[in-house]
């Protein structure tokens, strides 16, 4: 059970903080308890869309590096 007196913050916007759980007013992400390790990783794997975006970025970076090395 969540501790309502605990401070929660946005993994993307460290300036967004509040007492108790909720959502970030800037991006809508779930706030995580302060001190939570790997909060961004948990957020990324929580949605297939996020996983697809990360995979697409990695593929683009790999393609760009291969093009640079082929010169």
Mean pLDDT of 59-69: 96
Query: Looking up tokens 């007196």, which residue turns up?
Result: 5
The reply to whether the predicted model has a pTM over 0.75 is no
pLDDT of residue 56: 96
Polymer length of the chain = 71
pLDDT of residue 12: 85
**Could you report the per-residue pLDDT of 5-60, keeping only the tens digit for each?**
789 998 888 899 999 999 999 999 899 888 776 767 777 788 888 889 989 999 99
pLDDT of residue 51: 87
């Amino acid at each position: 059970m969540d501790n309502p007196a605990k401070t929660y913050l946005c993994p993307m916007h460290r300036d967004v903080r509040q007492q108790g759980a909720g959502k970030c007013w800037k991006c809508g992400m779930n706030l995580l308890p302060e001190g939570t390790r790997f909060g961004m990783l948990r957020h990324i794997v929580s949605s297939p869309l996020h996983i697809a975006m990360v995979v697409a970025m990695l593929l683009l970076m790999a393609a760009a590096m291969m093009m640079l090395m082929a010169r």
